[in-house]
Amino acid sequence: MPQKKEIIKHLKEIANLLDFNNANRFKVNAFKNGATALKSTNENIEPYIKDKTLTHIKGIGKGIQQVIYEFSEKGESSERAELIAKTPKGILELFKVRGLGAKKIQLLYDELNISSIADLEHACNDKSILSVKGFTEKGRQNLLEEISNLDRYSSKVRLNAAYNIVNEITEQLQKLDCEVKFDVTGDLRRNTEIISKIEILIYVNTKAEFYKKISNIYNYNILEQVTYSEISIEELFEIPIKLYVIDDESSYYNTLFQTTGSKSFVSNFGDRIFEFSVKSEEKLFDKLNTTYVIPEMREQQYFDYAPHLTKNSNLNFDKFKGLLHFHTTQSDGLNSLEEMTGAANKMGFEYAAVCDHSKTAVYANGLNEDAILEQRKIVDTINSKNGIKVFHGIESDILSDGSLDYAEEILSQFDFIVISIHSSFTMGEEEMTNRIIKAVENKYADVLAHPTGRLLLAREPYKVNIKKVIDACAANDVAIEINANPQRLDLDWREIYYAREKGCKFAINPDAHSVGGISDINYGIKIARKGGMQSEDVINCYSTSDFIKFLNRKVKRKTD
């Protein structure tokens, strides 16, 4: 049976093919929504596919279900096969280029017979693309940059995808019955936001037995290193898989230390790492006469800041009291406010702040003034019952001039305001920086969301002097978001030390658009730990009463 990610990809491809072939818009959206619904659920869908009982997943209609069942059984669906048969070869890959939708791709094919990324790159380089209506010189340059990014981003995955891969591999390792112990190591153990290879350290009694058993699962090559044998698993995964195999238990934790830290971190300890035989990493740090450093913080930045900033992070999910910045069906979410807060309550959150999109975000069904009043009634109804405390918030767009997209009389009615940019990404650095700072200076601003606008492996950050923005947040008592969506993980962890040095507060938010998305908060926690963040730095670790004090620090709000 195909993995969930393969089913999602299949549905997205059908949606794109339908769009290219001018299919009914409702049908196109049905497949897009189906892919989104599958992506948003944390359930194991395999049993439901086997029993053909996917009906309970909201957003998966009967037609989409049949496509999923057929694809799961045959590895293809008749829907996709028919679309592929009537679509020019290579068109699907053009959908990978950011900035190209079905209509533009169709136009490029009709005008210049472009049906591949290579064709597109050639048309950009010889400037023939400028003869096509709607394509400008700036657009040509952007397309070349996006094509370059596709190449640069290949053979890399985001943090969540890396964990999916490693879970699959470790499940196989546990079935071998010959390894004694293993640990994930390298970039993934440090929870780096982009992973280029999976590394696992394995201690075995006999290497020969391990090699024989693993050959029944994977094809591999072996390279002998000084302290371990390196197995490279071929082909099966999006990124390289490296298994570091040792049969000398006395060097296990030395090797784990060596392979976990960044090169610059490990180099600070020279050749002393293998001078000691130890039973744990903590013991090795003792032998090296230094304080134990958690894996996530083993980067060069650990040595660049004062000791009070490099104390091991104490963050974990249990310290979180509040769920902040999530969306509902009243804007572009998949679940209602009742469903989102009910799920948050079950997960142990004491309070939640809904932050649907604001009115400028028309593409996301942003809330106009009437919709705000309607949502307030729902918030009041939930709060009238015993259970989780709900604050009425909004994600207010920062306009091009730095103002927010509601009048002050509307802003003053919210309990909690997240501010963010969703448009005009191409401003120059000074203009963008001033735009954000002006918004941060608004007395109603509580949190600056996804401060650099990046989408990992998809969109580079906009040009902004992030240190000036951090300074403004510190000066105006505005918390900086660590957006926990694995596509963002923004603020970049490399800026966390500086922000903490300046005294900033933080909010770690899943930006969830479904019940399943709430658990993304754990990725934000992983990133925050890399910067040594403490629970007292994080506003959603505050008790309900302390969070209310935070909300009233600059303006008086009716939050009781």
State the CATH number of the domain containing residue 51.
1.10.150.110
Domain end among 153, 179, 198: 153
Q: Are 417 and 555 in contact (CB under 8 A)?
A: no
Asked if 103 and 123 touch (Cβ cutoff 8 Å), the reply is no
CB 30 within 8 A of CB 63: yes
Q: Vertex 453, ends 491 and 537: CA angle to 5°?
A: 20
Per-residue pLDDT in tens (0 to 9) along the chain, 560 residues: 677 888 999 999 999 999 999 999 999 999 999 998 888 787 788 888 888 888 888 889 999 999 999 999 999 999 999 999 999 988 999 998 988 999 999 999 999 999 999 999 999 999 999 999 999 999 999 999 888 888 778 889 999 999 999 998 998 898 887 778 999 999 999 999 999 999 999 999 889 999 999 998 888 899 888 888 999 997 778 899 999 999 988 899 999 999 999 999 999 998 899 999 999 999 999 999 999 999 999 999 999 999 999 999 999 999 999 999 999 999 999 899 999 999 999 999 999 999 999 999 998 899 999 999 999 999 999 999 978 999 999 999 999 999 999 999 999 999 999 999 999 998 999 999 999 999 999 999 999 999 999 999 988 999 999 999 999 999 999 999 999 999 999 999 999 999 999 999 999 999 999 999 999 999 999 999 999 999 999 999 999 999 999 999 999 997 66
Among 153, 188, 210, give the residue marking a domain's end: 153
Q: Which residue has the tokens 């103002």?
A: 403
Q: Which pairing describes strands 389-397 and 416-420: parallel, antiparallel, or unpaired? A: parallel
Paired tokens of 51: 């029993």
Tell me the C-alpha distance between 101 and 305, whole Å: 45
pTM score, two decimals? 0.85
Which residues touch 23 (CB under 8 Å, ≥6 apart)? none
Q: C-alpha 527: how far from its chain's center?
A: 10
CA atoms within 13 A on the CB side of 517: 27
What tokens were used for 323? 């769920």
Residue 560 in domain = no
* Residue 134 resides in a domain: yes
Alpha-carbon gap, residue 202 to 251, rounded angstroms = 11
Q: Look up residue 257 and give its two tokens.
A: 């230390």
Candidates 489, 493, 502; CA nearest to 533 is 493
Same domain, 456 and 333: yes
Q: Does residue 541 sit within a domain? A: yes
Inter-residue contact 107 to 132 (CB < 8 Å): yes
For residues 482 and 448, what is the distance between their CA atoms, to the nearest angstrom? 9
Is there a single domain that holds both residue 33 and residue 149? yes
How many separate domains does the chain show? 3
Q: Are residues 139 and 161 in the same domain?
A: no
Judge if 366 and 480 occupy the same domain: yes
Show the domain range for 434: 317-551
